[in-house]
Amino acid sequence: MTASQHPPAKRARLSALAVLLALFLSCPAVSAAEEVITEYQVKAAFLYNFSHFVSWPALPGSTFRLCVVGENPFGQLLDSLIGKPVNNSILVVEQHSSLEKIHDCQLVYISYSLQPRLDMMLADLANHPILTVSDIESFTDAGGMIELRISDNKVRFEINTSAAEHAGLSISSKLLSLATSVKKGQ
């Protein structure tokens, strides 16, 4: 569906979200003491905004599950997202230490603490309609969908469209245009 086929309210919402996402792309870290907090505040906002620019084959029920697996670098930052709307659902945040319960999630942030198990995790999630996001280096090369990274003191992201398509997800061209790199293939 093109932007002109969306109702005016949805076009305005999409435009506003695109502007918001673009603003987050240009947020520099303030100081060394605040850098980690600022970085993960921006990354938390990215996670929420990604949910608006990805289409899932079907969203079950009334909740959209954003799950963090492994050590949680966000602390309490994701709690501010609880209850926000996502595609006619309400966002919930879950923390998991293993893969056992994340197959019901729509968006999974894979913590850097799980880097040694990354290949196994991505293989397990590959056939599920779950958006995978991480700041593990070369995440998209390993088959992850969105890799967050710091470049010039700004949070940037790259996208692996083949991994998303393989899982049945469709990523908006607006989000693709904001990515620093769009990869096709693993």
The count of domains in the chain is 1
Whole-model pTM: value is: 0.80
Predicted local distance difference test score (pLDDT) of residue 4:
45
Mean pLDDT of the chain: 83
Q: What three-state secondary structure class fits 154?
A: strand
CATH for 16: 3.40.50
pLDDT digits (tens, 9 = 90+) for 102-132: 888 999 999 999 999 999 999 999 989 999 9
User: Whole-angstrom Cα distance, residue 170 to residue 185?
Assistant: 15
Q: Which phi and psi (to 5°) does residue 85 adopt?
A: -75, 140
Q: Token pair of 156, please?
A: 């940037």
Identify the domain containing residue 85 by its residue range. Answer: 3-183
